[in-house]
Amino acid sequence: MHRRGVGAGAIAKKKLAEMSKQLDMFKTNLEEFASKHKQEIRKNPEFRVQFQDMCATIGVDPLASGKGFWSEMLGVGDFYYELGVQIIEVCLALKHRNGGLITLEELHQQVLKGRGKFAQDVSQDDLIRAIKKLKALGTGFGIIPVGGTYLIQSVPAELNMDHTVVLQLAEKNGYVTVSEIKASLKWETERARQVLEHLLKEGLAWLDLQAPGEAHYWLPALFTDLYSQEITAEEAREALP
């Protein structure tokens, strides 16, 4: 019994030593890799995507920690963590208007504006990755697929499948009606009404009783063309208490 314990323990310790050695070698090789490709990772969104996808397939998250090798040597970390800060600021600044729901396009536009002319290029894929990381902070960041794009949720409002589906329906015109829901989704009136009321309550939808025909439920997150209010980076920062 005692011998068995020692044997298994020795193997584990040996493996740990082996890992330490492999880690050193890996670090050296990564430094070499970084010296050649660091600039490109910073400048080229496509390379970033490829790189991240490869890491994902083997179970390595280069963005997990600022202290990771990937972050320290390739500089990927700072790029995404700073992006996270910028995303938070934009969402906070616009929350009063859209209730905490924003299209990926609008978020992209506003973030680029805030970063200024000389900053590195940021792709929508970059934003999505940064947002996925922000989920760890517990304050309700979510990514909802609608139409061909995504809605980014930045408040902890509870949105279930029903709500999401109605948001997707609203994407076409920026608003949705009870009749439309009943026709497209084949729901009962009551179900449609409940969902719309929830969206109103959460501040994600606005009620328009003066629309022709029946009441229109507008999603401010979706109609930015009609309503392009510019916020500056300063305003965004001040939105944080």
Residue type, 41: I
Alpha carbon distance 106, 90 (integer Å): 10
Q: How far is the CB of 5 from other proteins (least distance, A)?
A: 6
Alpha carbon distance 51, 157 (integer Å): 33
Site for other proteins in 137-176 (CB under 8 A): 137-140, 155-156
| C-alpha Rg value of the chain to the nearest Å | 23
Instruction: Please work out, in degrees rounded to the nearest 5, the angle formed at the alpha carbon of residue 230 by the alpha carbons of 87 and 91.
Output: 25
Please list, in sequence order, all residues whose beta carbon lies within 8 angstroms of the beta carbon of residue 132, skipping any fewer than 6 positions away: 143
Edge-to-edge order in the sheet of strand 216-218: 175-176, 216-218, 206-208
Mark the segment that binds other proteins (CB under 8 A) among 104-112, 118-126, 133-141, 168-176. Answer: 133-141
Site for other proteins in 47-86 (CB under 8 A): 50-51, 54-55, 58-71, 77-78, 80-82, 84-85
Closest CB to other proteins among 67 and 117? 67
Q: How far is the CB of 7 from other proteins (least distance, A)?
A: 7
227 binding other proteins? (CB under 8 A): no
Q: What are the distances in angstroms from CA 180 to CA 89, 98, 147, 169? A: 35, 22, 16, 9
43 binding other proteins? (CB under 8 A): no
In this chain, which of 46, 105, 121, 197 binds other proteins, going by CB under 8 A?
A: 197
46 binding other proteins? (CB under 8 A): no
Binding mask 93-132 for other proteins (x = CB under 8 A): ----------------------------------------
Edge-to-edge order in the sheet of strand 142-146: 101-103, 149-153, 142-146
Range list of H helices, 177-238: 178-185, 189-201, 233-238
Which residues would be at the binding site for other proteins (CB under 8 A)? Answer: 5-13, 15-16, 18-20, 22-23, 25-27, 29-30, 33, 36-37, 50-51, 54-55, 58-71, 77-78, 80-82, 84-85, 88-89, 133-140, 155-156, 197, 200-201, 203, 207, 240-241
